[in-house]
Structures are given as structure tokens and as C-alpha cells.
């Protein structure tokens, strides 16, 4: 992996954004909107790279996956109208795999779909300097690196739907060709020990699937991935949705919990 590009501030992120970032942290409503838009951009890119149908409406975005990837909804507005909710319900009813939804506004009741729900905080980090990681972090550019990241995420998040493993199913090669999407690896002694995805959209960055293999947890790999992937976005506000276990790490990196996001799942 010696010839892989290292993470560093560069012009790629600048070329992706449509506006200058604000010097002030967003309000809870702003944070929800930016997280909603960024998540939609990420899942639209993911769906397109997998060859899945992507449906965009005013109030939601839907990615209609297969029996392994499932169907995912990204709520985009706090006030879905009756037609939008009816269409979402119909799409969920004919899903061929698991169903999941993210509602950063926490305002859309999907309990009629028989899904369980929970809340996680949307966290925001303002623009600012990023320390260098203690472990080497590289931006993925080659197929074998993307497969390494894919395997780490599947194992780290216990994504049983993607087992047995099929290379390129979760992270197709075209994913890193999608505008604004980057995948990162933390590498220690030649071994991939952590992975994560970032998306830059409309002047904000965001993190997804930051994980480490079960045998590498609590050894600094997750922190390294975060720092290495934050570096190219140091001039941007960055959002993420935090799990209970991940929140202390994110707080130590300058993220602040701003507002809760409601998640729904058939699992």
C-alpha cells in the first residue's frame, strides 16, 4: 500500500462543495437538515454504485436494494404529506429484504410498518485543525484496498446480511468514483486495522461506517481513521450520527451532540 495517496488537505474537497462553510455551528434544525441531505447523497451514491433503484421525492429518498442489501429510506423533511407517506409505505411493503429508515428530524412515525426504533445523536464538529493520526491512514484507490475496507465494515458492524462475503457487494468499485465519496483505511504493519467512509455535500462533510475488526478494538484504529479522514475536511463543518459506544471518541475529536435522530429497522 506504499503507493496509495495519504490523507492530507487538498483541492478535491474544495472542488466538491457548492458553498463556503459557515463559521458558526448549525442550530439543531440546521444540523438535522444537513445530516438528512448528506445521508441522502451517500445512500444515493451507494445505491447507484450497486445498481439499485433510487427514488427521490420532496420528503424522502428511497434506495430499493435486493434481499441482502435491503431497502433504505432517508427522510428529507419533517413534514411528509399523506401521499409521500403512502408511497413510502407501499415501497416498504414490497421490499425484498430488510427495511431501514433514518429520520434526522424525529418527526415521521413509521411504527405502522412494524419496525423497531431507537435514537442516536447527530453530532457536529466545526472547521478547525486536525492532529495527525498515530497510525497510517490512506485514501482507498485500488480494488484490494476497497475489499479490505468492505470486510472490516461487515465484520465491525456485524452485517450478517452480507455474509457469506461477496467481494464488491457492499462497496462496489464504482463507489469511490461517486462525487464527494471517499473510503479510508488505517494500516498498521501492512495490515488494514480500521476503515471508514466520508461524504462531502453542499458545504458539509459527514462520516459513515467508521469501524474496526473486533480483534482491533480499543487500540487506536478508530481514532486514526477519524483523524485521517477528517484532515481533508478540516475547513468544513462535519456531521455524523453517533452510536453510544462511538460518542466518547467523537466528543474527544471536537464533535458536539446537537439533536437526536430517529432510526427504524426491521431487524
| Confidence bin at 155 (pLDDT 50/70/90) | very high
Residue in 180, 200, 183 with CA at minimum distance from that of residue 192:
183
pTM, rounded to two decimals:
0.89
Label residues 135-156 b or e (16+ Cβ within 10 Å = b).
bbbbbbeeeebbbbbbbbbbbb
Q: Positive or negative CA dihedral for 43, 46, 49, 53? A: negative
| Confidence bin at 23 (pLDDT 50/70/90) | low
pLDDT in tens, 180-213: 999 999 999 999 999 999 999 999 999 999 999 8
Q: What percent of the chain has pLDDT over 70?
A: 90
| Rounded CA separation 55/64 (Å) | 8
Rg (CA), the chain: 18
| Confidence bin at 216 (pLDDT 50/70/90) | confident
pLDDT in tens, 45-92: 999 999 999 999 999 999 999 999 999 999 999 999 999 999 999 999
Q: What is the pLDDT of residue 265?
A: 98
Pairing of strands 99-103, 60-64: unpaired
Q: Positive or negative CA dihedral for 124, 204, 51, 4? A: negative
pLDDT higher than 60, residue 10: no
CB 7 within 8 A of CB 205: no
pLDDT higher than 50, residue 113: yes
Q: What is the pLDDT of residue 14?
A: 35
Amino acid at each position: 500500500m506504499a503507493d496509495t495517496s495519504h490523507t492530507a488537505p487538498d483541492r478535491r474537497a474544495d472542488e466538491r462543495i457548492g458553498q463556503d462553510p459557515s463559521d458558526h455551528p448549525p442550530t439543531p434544525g440546521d444540523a438535522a437538515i444537513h445530516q438528512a441531505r448528506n445521508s441522502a447523497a451517500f445512500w444515493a451514491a451507494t445505491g447507484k454504485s450497486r445498481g439499485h433503484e433510487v427514488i427521490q421525492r420532496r420528503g424522502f429518498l428511497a434506495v430499493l436494494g435486493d434481499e441482502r442489501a435491503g431497502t433504505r429510506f432517508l427522510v428529507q423533511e419533517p413534514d411528509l404529506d399523506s401521499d409521500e407517506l403512502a408511497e413510502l409505505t407501499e415501497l416498504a411493503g414490497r421490499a425484498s429484504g430488510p427495511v431501514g429508515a433514518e429520520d434526522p428530524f424525529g418527526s415521521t412515525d413509521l411504527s405502522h410498518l412494524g419496525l423497531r426504533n431507537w435514537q442516536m445523536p447527530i453530532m457536529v464538529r466545526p472547521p478547525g485543525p486536525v492532529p495527525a493520526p498515530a497510525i497510517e491512514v490512506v485514501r482507498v484507490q485500488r480494488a484490494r484496498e476497497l475489499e479490505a475496507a468492505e470486510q472490516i465494515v461487515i465484520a465491525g458492524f456485524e452485517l450478517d446480511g452480507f455474509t457469506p462475503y461477496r467481494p464488491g457487494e457492499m462497496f462496489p468499485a464504482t463507489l469511490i468514483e461517486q462525487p464527494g465519496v471517499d473510503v479510508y483505511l488505517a494500516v498498521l504493519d501492512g495490515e488494514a486495522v480500521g476503515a471508514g467512509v466520508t461524504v462531502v455535500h453542499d458545504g458539509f462533510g459527514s462520516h459513515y461506517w467508521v469501524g474496526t475488526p473486533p480483534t482491533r478494538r480499543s487500540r487506536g484504529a478508530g481514532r486514526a481513521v477519524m483523524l485521517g479522514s477528517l484532515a481533508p475536511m478540516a475547513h468544513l463543518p462535519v456531521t455524523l450520527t453517533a452510536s453510544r459506544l462511538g460518542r466518547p471518541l467523537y466528543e474527544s475529536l471536537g464533535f458536539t451532540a446537537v439533536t437526536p435522530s430517529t432510526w427504524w429497522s426491521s431487524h
